[in-house]
Chain A
Amino acid sequence: MDLKFSEADVTFRQEVVTFLENEYPEDIKEKQDKRIPLEKEEIVRWQKILNQKGWFAINWPSQYTNQEELTVTQKYILQEELAKANTPTTIPFGMGMCAPVIYTFGTDEQKEKFLPSILNSDVWWCQGYSEPGSGSDLASLKTKAELSGDKYIVNGTKTWTTLAQHADWIFCLVRTETTEIKQEGISFLLIDMKTPGIEVKPIITIDGSHEVNMVYFDNVEVPAENLVGEEGQGWNIAKFLLAHERSGIAGIAALKRELKRLKELSAEIPLGESTLLEDSQFRNKIEETEIELTATEFTELRTLAAMSQGGSPGAESSILKIKGTELQQTISELFVEMLAYYAHPFYLENEIGSNETVGPDYAAPVMPHYLNYRKVSIYGGSNEIQRNVISKAILGL
C-alpha cells in the first residue's frame, strides 16, 4: 500500500497545470469564477479544447479516441486539477452515457455514425429516461415504440430531461413490447430531436432556472437502424449505464474545491471581533464535512483500484452516489449558512453576476445552488433507491 505519486505522475500533474494556464479561456474562467451559468457555446468550446488535448473522453477505450488511455492515477490527477481550476463540468449525456452504450452494444455503423461527433462535441445529447409516472420505478415506463416497416413510431412523454433545449439527439428507453416482466419489453433507441412530432417544454425549478424539460413524442418516426442492441435489451443497457452514471456522481474533486472556498470565504466573514471560520460551531461543521469527504474520496479510490484490476462498478457505486450527493448538499447548505441574510436576495440566472446584486459579490448564486442541489438526492436513482440497492446487492437482505 502506498499513497505516493510516482515521478511520472508528478510530471503529468505539471502538464495539466501548464495546459490550464495556457488553454483555459479567460472569458469562460471569469464566468465560472463568478458562478454565472454558461451558454451552450461556451460549454462546447471548452469540451473541444479538452478533446484536442485528449482529455475529454478519458474513460473511452483507446480504439475510439486513437490515443492511449490514461492510467487510473492520471485520471484522478486530471480531474482534481480541472476541478481545482474550476473549469466547466463536462456534459455527461453524450460522452459519458450514450457513447459507452454505443461502443459496448452498438453496431459498427452506429459507432461510425455517432462516436466521432460525440468525441468532438459537435452533437449534443440528452437522456430520455424518466416519465411522469415512472421515476424510481423506471421499468414501468410507457413511451411506446411500434415497429412499422423499417421505422419505429414513438409516442409518449419523457420528463426531467436535462438540457433538452440544447440537444440535437436524445437516447431513450422505450417500450417495444408489453411483457409480463416489465423490464423485458424495454429497448434503447436513438432519436434525432429535429424529427417532426417532438416538442420540448421547459420545467422551471425552485431556483428559478430552466435546466430540465418535458419532451413529448407524437407519432415520431425513427429509423429502425437507430435501435441499439436488440429489442428487449434496453433494461440491461440501462443498468450498465446507471452504474457508469453513478461512478462519476460523487464529484469529489469539485467538493474539495468548494470546501476550500468555503473556508477561505468564511475566514473573511466578520463575527464580532473574530471571524465565522473561528466560530467553533461553524468550524466543527466544516471539519465534520472534511472528514466525511476524505472518507468518500478514499472509498472512491478503492473502488477505482478494484475496477482497474478488472472489476466493474457494481453496487459500490451506490455508496459513492449517496455519500457524494449528501456532501454536495451539506456544502451548499453551509454556504447559505455562511451568508446569513445575504443568502435571501433572489436573482434570476441572467441577473447573477450583474452589478444589481447586493451583499458580497459571490452571494447571488449561493441560494439558487442550494435549492438546485436538492435534486441530487433525487436524480440518478434516489438515495432511498440506492440504499435499497446496497441492502439487496451487498448486504443480501
Chain B
Amino acid sequence: MDFTFNEEQSLIQDQVDQFVQKEYDWETRQSLSNSELGFGEDNWKKFAELGWLGISVSEDSGGFGGSAIESMLIMEAFGKGLVVEPFLETVIMAGGLIDDHGSDQQKSSFLEPAIAGEMHLALAYAEPQSRFNLSDVVTEAKADGDNFIINGYKSVVMNGPSADQIIVSARTSGTQLDENGISLFIIDANASGLDKTNYKTVDGRRASDLTFENVSVSKENLIGDQDKGFEILDSAIDKAILAISAEAVGAMEVLYKTTVEYTKTREQFGTAIGKFQVLQHRMVDMFMEYEQCKSLLYMATMKHEEKAEDAKKAISGLKYQVGKAGKFIGQQAVQLHGGMGVTDELNVGHYFKRLTTVGTIFGNTDYHLKKYTSL
C-alpha cells in the first residue's frame, strides 16, 4: 500500500497549486466568473500549453497517458481556488468519454482540438424528469438514412454556453427508464434545430437548457454502439464524480482553514472567538469531515484505477460523504463567520455555494446512499 505520489504527479500538483496561489487570487476569480464568458480564455490556453488538458488522456488519443490520479490532483488544486474554467466539463466528462469510447475519427475531430484548448465540450445527460437517473431518458433519436433525428430536451448542461460540441444521450429504443436503448451522439452546438437557453449558475459558473427540434446528426457521430450508451455514460459520470469530489476536497480544505484563521482574529467578549469550546469542537468536526472525504477520495480513485470489483460502490460512498461533509463544512464556515459569511464580498459564501452545487451534481446524498446499498 502506498499513498505517495510519483515524481511526475508531485510536479503537476505543485504546478497547479502555484498557478492557483499566484495567478488566481480571489479578485481575479470573481472578475472571471462575472465576465461575459464566465472564465478566462487566456487561462484556458495556458492550461493547454502546460499540457494539463491532455494529462489524463491516453496516448493513443493524443494525450500524455496519465491516470485519474493526475486529474484528482488538478481538480483538488482547482477546488482550492474555486477555479471556474470548465476543466471538468470539457476534459473529464466529455473528453474522457470520447477518449474511452470514441472512434478514431471522433478523437481527431473532437478530443485533439479539446486538448489543444481550441474546442469546448459538454455532456448533456439530465432531463427535467430524470433527476440523477442516467437511464431516465425521454429525448429520442430516430434513424433516418445515414442520420439520426433528435427531438427532446436536456437540463442544466454545465458549460453549455461555451461548448462547441455537445454529447447528448437519446433514446433509440426501449421505454423511458430502460438502460438498454440509450445512445450517445456528439452534436454541433450550432446545429439547426438546437436551441440553447444560457444562464449563470449559483456557483458562479455557466449552464444551458437545450431544446432539440428535429436536429439531424450523422451516424458517424454516434459514440459507441447504438442502444449501448448507458454503460458509457455511467462510467463517464463515475470519473466525473471522482474529479468533482477532488475539487470539493480542495474547497473544504480552504473553508475549514479560513474559518480557523478567522476565529483566531475575530474578538468578541474580550477574547478571540476561537477560544470558545463550542466553536473549537465545531471546527474539529469540520476538519475531521474534510479528512474523511480525502480518505474516501484516495480510496475510490485507486479502486477505480485498479478496476476493482467494488469501485462503483466506493465511488457512491465517496459522493455520499462529499455531499454530507460539504454541506456541514459549508454551512458551519458561514455560521462561524457570522454576518460576514453571508456577504457576497467574502469568498466564504462562494465556497459554500460551490459545495452546495457539488452536493447535487451527479447525485445527492440520498441518491448515492441508495445506490451504495444496491451495489
Contact = CB atoms under 8 A, between A and B. Distances in A.
B248 to A, nearest CB: 15
A203 B357 contact: no
Given A341-B126, A344-B156, A359-B128, A374 B356 contact: no
Contact of A371 (B155, B353, B364): B353
Interface in B37-62: none
A370 B155 CA distance: 21
Interface string B243-262: 00000000000000000000
A197 interface: no
Interface string B327-342: 0000100110011011
Contacts of B338: 135-136, 378, 382
Contacts of B334: 374
Interface stretch (B84-92, B196-204, B303-311): B196-204
B24 to A, nearest CB: 20
A145 to B, nearest CB: 23
A205 B227 CA distance: 47
A356 B200 CA distance: 12
Contact of A281 (B136, B357, B369): B369
A377 B335 contact: yes
A347 B207 CA distance: 13
A378 B199 contact: no
A305 interface: no
B341 A358 contact: no
Nearest to B200: A346
Interface stretch (B65-73, B96-104, B284-292, B344-352): B344-352
Given A206-B344, A206-B350, A359-B155, A343 B339 contact: no
A359 B201 CA distance: 13
Nearest to B337: A378
Nearest to A133: B267
Interface in A261-296: 269-273, 276, 279, 281-282
Given A206-B350, A358-B197, A160 B339 contact: yes
A64 interface: no
B49 to A, nearest CB: 31
Given A272-B136, A374-B341, A384-B279, A346 B364 contact: no
Contacts of A272: 133, 136, 177
A337 B335 contact: no
A206 B352 contact: yes
A367 interface: yes
Nearest to B331: A374
Contacts of A345: 156, 199-202, 207
Contacts of A79: none
A270 B199 contact: no
A358 B209 contact: yes
B328 to A, nearest CB: 12
A226 interface: no
Interface in B141-160: 155-156
A340 B199 contact: no
A271 B131 CA distance: 7
A342 B156 contact: yes
Nearest to B279: A384
Interface residues of B, number: 48
B180 interface: no
B298 interface: no
B129 interface: yes
Interface in B339-375: 339, 341-345, 349-350, 352-353, 356-357, 360-361, 364, 366, 369-370
A204 B155 contact: no
Interface residues of A, number: 49
Task: Say what secondary structure dominates the interface of chain B.
Answer: mixed
Contacts, number: 125
Contacts of A203: 343, 345
A371 B276 CA distance: 26
B266 to A, nearest CB: 9
Contacts of B156: 341-342, 344-345, 358-359
Contact of A344 (B129, B197, B345, B357): B357
Nearest to A285: B366
A135 B342 contact: no
A384 B278 contact: yes
Contacts of A212: 339
B268 A340 contact: no
Nearest to A343: B360
B343 A273 contact: no
A358 B209 CA distance: 7
Contact of B353 (A136, A206, A271): A206
Interface in A189-219: 203-206, 208, 212
B201 A374 contact: no
Nearest to A372: B342
Given A341-B126, A378-B338, A208 B360 contact: no
B132 interface: yes
Contacts of A346: 199-202
A135 B350 CA distance: 22
Contacts of B155: 341-342, 358-359
A206 B339 contact: no
A344 B360 contact: yes
A378 B341 contact: yes
Contacts of A343: 202, 360
Given A344-B202, A358-B197, A374 B345 contact: no
A273 B199 contact: no
A212 B345 CA distance: 13
Interface string A333-377: 000110011111111000000001011000000010011101101
24 contacts: A134-B268, A159-B339, A204-B344, A205-B342, A206-B342, A206-B343, A206-B350, A206-B352, A212-B339, A272-B177, A281-B366, A336-B356, A343-B202, A344-B357, A344-B360, A345-B202, A346-B199, A346-B201, A358-B155, A359-B155, A367-B356, A370-B356, A377-B335, A379-B339
Interface of A: 130, 133-137, 140, 159-160, 203-206, 208, 212, 269-273, 276, 279, 281-282, 336-337, 340-347, 356, 358-359, 367, 370-372, 374-375, 377-379, 382, 384, 387
Given A374-B342, A378-B341, 17 more contacts: A137-B268, A203-B343, A204-B345, A272-B133, A340-B360, A341-B360, A358-B155, A358-B156, A371-B202, A371-B342, A374-B335, A378-B339, A382-B335, A382-B338, A384-B276, A384-B278, A384-B279
